[in-house]
Amino acid sequence: MGTIEIILALLGFVGVGGIITNVQTKRKELAFKALESKERRYKSCLLYMDVYFNPKNIKYLSSRQSDIHSATDIIEYLQAEYHEMILYASKPVVLSVKAFIEHPSKDNFLASVLAMRQDLWTGQHDLTAKEIALVRSDA
């Protein structure tokens, strides 16, 4: 094999390697954007759930939706989030949010938090509802 053939072979190899690297970089960027979007949506969902139990926190929603005035309004907005969530959320997240909408309770809230946490970050069950539940003496 001549010098020119070796150079062409190396350039071809580097070119293919560059293409593969570019494709991998694009995939990582898309995955990161999807994760960021999912995180934003989950935070929004958790805020609705929190306001359902703590109506005084409605002030945190007023900048987003000025037409929220009651627990019923909150559940309706949460239901809209749920319908969008069906497209991107993991099955445990979808089912836990569905359970909360149908039967709002602290247990269903905590189950949703844990499912979202698992979907976003850990991929495992590293916490329990009992471990993350707030117990306040002033409540």
Classify residue 103: in a domain, yes or no. Answer: yes
Q: Are the C-beta atoms of 106 and 115 separated by less than 8 Å?
A: no
pLDDT score at 91: 94
**What phi, psi does 125 have (nearest 5°)?**
-95, 90
Rounded to the nearest integer, the mean pLDDT of the chain is: 82
- Residue tagged 């850990």 (tokens): 122
Q: Give the pLDDT confidence of 3-15 residue by residue, as tens digits.
A: 777 766 766 666 6
Q: Are the C-beta atoms of 90 and 119 separated by less than 8 Å?
A: yes
Q: How much is the pTM?
A: 0.72
Classify residue 3: in a domain, yes or no. Answer: no
The domain containing residue 72 runs over which residues?
37-132
Classify residue 99: in a domain, yes or no. Answer: yes
CA-nearest of 110, 80, 78 to 92 is 110
Classify residue 115: in a domain, yes or no. Answer: yes
Classify residue 108: in a domain, yes or no. Answer: yes
Classify residue 27: in a domain, yes or no. Answer: no
Distance of CA 6 to the CA centre of its chain: 49
Classify residue 5: in a domain, yes or no. Answer: no
Classify residue 60: in a domain, yes or no. Answer: yes
Q: Give the pLDDT confidence of 40-64 residue by residue, as tens digits.
A: 889 989 988 988 888 888 877 766 7
pLDDT score at 116: 94
Number of separate domains in the chain: 1
pLDDT score at 109: 94
Question: Radius of gyration over alpha carbons of the chain, in Å?
Answer: 23
pLDDT score at 31: 83
| Residue 82 pLDDT level (bands cut at 50, 70, 90) | very high
